[in-house]
Chain A
């Protein structure tokens, strides 16, 4: 395999890891207003307090892989998306520090709750906006041109769709990490979100198809279409199962039906698989571009000396990182109530 393609895939892997991992903890922040009591808010924050930092590191990793392997794309992309990136960073700052300060505050507690939920929502909306702007193709003078050029109806739509997706991930994570009323509420809120997310994915997919002849050809022309057909089909199956599982969790609280651990964990993995499938679809559409219509990965790639230098680091450390990340998650496996308070 061509080494630049390897880095293209690695970048995709980093972004996907970020979207799934920070997706569920940003989702917890987006869901925050739906839970009212202080105890519920404690529970929500504690469910992700030990992992948010690691999850966000994937965002930094994606950034530096882009910087090291595709510097031209890093430069153009980041300066073009200036405003949404800055707003996202501000959002991430507020929700990040809220983890530390909320548990240590008394009178200002409500403000840290707000910082957490508003910051998470703002960051997710900005990521959605960037997704939309990228899929549509950035305006040629995005850096020096009008500040609002990135805000189109489509990018505003994705700015709402991505937070909805994160909220769904958050719901399924809560189902896995909670019992009783919180689990029930998460399952109940999750169900309409499944519909919403599927509808949004359909709209984004259709509009992506209309972006260019080439994308249309790739999905609908010839044998490609058959090979790609499993992507949307599997997504529908996953959504169907997810909807049913959430329904079962919700019902169990009314009718005292036993819900096995499997039913509590599976919604999360189904929601993750929805994200994986959607992301795969996006990559299929946009390949080989990093900035659709403007810059392909081959044209942005760094000199071979840089790519080869990073390779052993990636091959040794990424598996190690995955191993100790899984180890970390396993140490805190089970329901939030079973952890001792704070540190």
Chain B
């Protein structure tokens, strides 16, 4: 395919956005869940006084902090990239999406930033209860943030509540814009995904410690708790995902057709493809491994139910089928694996060999990135599956890119690739370093516990020590 300069620039802008948004989503998908888990542990510690819970909270707050930091800096990029690279898009949809993002900043970003300082640095500056409040506030902030950004994204998938005046979108009903048809499904699917992501990161780390026979009490608590969580969350996610799929069938049938690899314009008795090689030119699949009728059954609840296929629209209105098809399989495959691990964990627990089964611990420990990979794959299904549209059925992506010279976008894209590759390596290095260092020792925490209870005393004592120095300059 030959590209002229304008198209090249547009493609580069799209690659840059895909790259920067993919990089960004890694971090919130860990921190939303992890903030919730840390709040849970801190709450359990306050309630039970069991120091292992404090140990869990204090340990995970460090990986949380570096992950959160990465999320913040990569997120700022996105809030500007709509304007820099998709200027026409921001101009015509700004009246709808801008206010949603303004609410995200007002109700979530400031809240997280404002209480994060206390959560990270305030252990001995505020009372234990106030610190717990700060932790909960940060966790709630991450949830609120997800609410608004998912609302904005879902509106682009299933736009409602607007009208178009002189080529620009105006809002008629904010309720319909925010609670658009796909929003509730996408929000619950994403929040469960972040909880699962954090759950598996913690589970993998705990399993790794048990394999190395380090920090046993701490690791057992972590593993046990996360396996219970996974047992609830992973099957629930499958159910929510199924509902979400039905919603996609109703509102974005072409995306669904790409997910399932359905080519004929209408097909009944659709098989569920376990594997296939979609061929966009020949408009069919190769090497199909299929369960007859199962896709129809899942999606229409009838063996011979009819589904819309890709050939119902011209090729120019279809997404990149293999990318959507395989991403969907990666996501579902990992989901099934998560359910399997949770069930196995239950079985081993019942037999009383959970902490001794090295093979099981090994499986758990390699699943650390499973949640992140599933989240990325899921978002590729959502975003690539919507193409060629940016706002489903209304705005084409290629039509609303900034008319920048290609070399300028090439420059920024190269800078982002360099910066993010470097930082991702650094992030993994420090994450590993924190994990290897292990949790803080219990006796250290006991001291801290005294410090927390006597925080007012500690601060005034410090101040008293400082006073003489202050009045004589550097005097004493």
**A164-203 vs B, Cβ < 8 Å mask (1 yes, 0 no):** 0000000000000001110010000000000000000000
- In whole angstroms, how far apart are the Cα atoms of A334 and B434 in the complex? 30
- A53 at the binding interface (Cβ < 8 Å): yes
- In whole angstroms, how far apart are the Cα atoms of A49 and B117 in the complex? 8
- Output the least CB separation between A9 and chain B (Å): 15
- In whole angstroms, how far apart are the Cα atoms of A208 and B171 in the complex? 39
- A228 at the binding interface (Cβ < 8 Å): no
Binds A, one of B85-93, B187-195, B285-293, B361-369: B85-93
Contact B73 A306 (CB under 8 A): no
- In whole angstroms, how far apart are the Cα atoms of A69 and B116 in the complex? 29
Q: Which of B104-137 contact A (CB under 8 A)?
A: 104-107, 109-111, 113-118, 120-126
10 further A-B pairs in the complex, CB-CB below 8 A; given A57-B110, A68-B101, A334-B466: A53-B116, A67-B90, A76-B87, A78-B90, A79-B87, A181-B474, A314-B106, A328-B118, A334-B463, A343-B65
Contact B83 A74 (CB under 8 A): yes
Q: Name the A residues within 8 Å of B109 (CB-CB).
A: 57, 60-61
- In whole angstroms, how far apart are the Cα atoms of A256 and B468 in the complex? 13
Binds B, one of A24-32, A268-276, A316-324: A316-324
Q: Name the A residues within 8 Å of B113 (CB-CB).
A: 53-54, 56-57
**A244-265 vs B, Cβ < 8 Å mask (1 yes, 0 no):** 0000000011001111010000
Contact B102 A313 (CB under 8 A): yes
Q: List 17 A-B contacts (CB under 8 A).
A: A54-B113, A60-B109, A64-B98, A71-B91, A71-B95, A79-B87, A79-B404, A89-B80, A92-B73, A97-B73, A100-B65, A184-B474, A302-B94, A306-B171, A324-B111, A327-B114, A332-B125
Q: Name the A residues within 8 Å of B475 (CB-CB).
A: 256
Binds A, one of B301-309, B386-394, B405-413: B405-413
Interface-centre pick from A75, A94, A143, A324 (highest chain B CB count, 10 A): A75
Contact B115 A343 (CB under 8 A): no
Contact of B171 among A258, A261, A303 (CB under 8 A): A303
- Output the least CB separation between B140 and chain A (Å): 13
- B472 at the binding interface (Cβ < 8 Å): yes
| Given known A-B contacts A93-B77, A328-B117, A147 and B407 have beta carbons under 8 A apart | yes
- B82 at the binding interface (Cβ < 8 Å): yes
Q: Name the B residues within 8 Å of A78 (CB-CB).
A: 80, 82-84, 87, 90
| Given known A-B contacts A92-B73, A324-B115, A335-B466, A64 and B105 have beta carbons under 8 A apart | yes
Contact of B408 among A82, A328, A340 (CB under 8 A): A82
- B residues apposed to A, CB below 8 Å: 61-62, 65-66, 69-70, 72-77, 79-80, 82-85, 87-88, 90-99, 101-107, 109-111, 113-118, 120-126, 165, 170-172, 174, 402-405, 407-408, 411-412, 415-416, 419, 423, 426, 430, 433-434, 459, 462-463, 466, 469-475
- Output the least CB separation between A13 and chain B (Å): 13
Contact of A68 among B102, B123, B407, B472 (CB under 8 A): B102
- A residues apposed to B, CB below 8 Å: 49-51, 53-54, 56-57, 59-61, 63-65, 67-72, 74-79, 81-83, 85-87, 89-90, 92-94, 96-97, 99-101, 104-105, 143-144, 147, 179-181, 184, 252-253, 256-259, 261, 302-303, 305-306, 309-310, 313-314, 317-318, 321, 324-325, 327-328, 331-332, 334-335, 337-340, 342-343
Contact B463 A86 (CB under 8 A): no
- In whole angstroms, how far apart are the Cα atoms of A75 and B404 in the complex? 12
Q: Name the A residues within 8 Å of B102 (CB-CB).
A: 61, 64-65, 67-68, 310, 313-314
- Output the least CB separation between B415 and chain A (Å): 6
Identity of the chain B residue whose Cβ is nearest the Cβ of A249 in the assembled complex: B473
| Given known A-B contacts A86-B84, A256-B472, A338-B466, A93 and B434 have beta carbons under 8 A apart | no
Contact B94 A147 (CB under 8 A): no
- Output the least CB separation between B328 and chain A (Å): 32
| Given known A-B contacts A77-B83, A92-B76, A252 and B117 have beta carbons under 8 A apart | no
| Given known A-B contacts A54-B114, A96-B69, A67 and B121 have beta carbons under 8 A apart | no
Contact B105 A82 (CB under 8 A): no
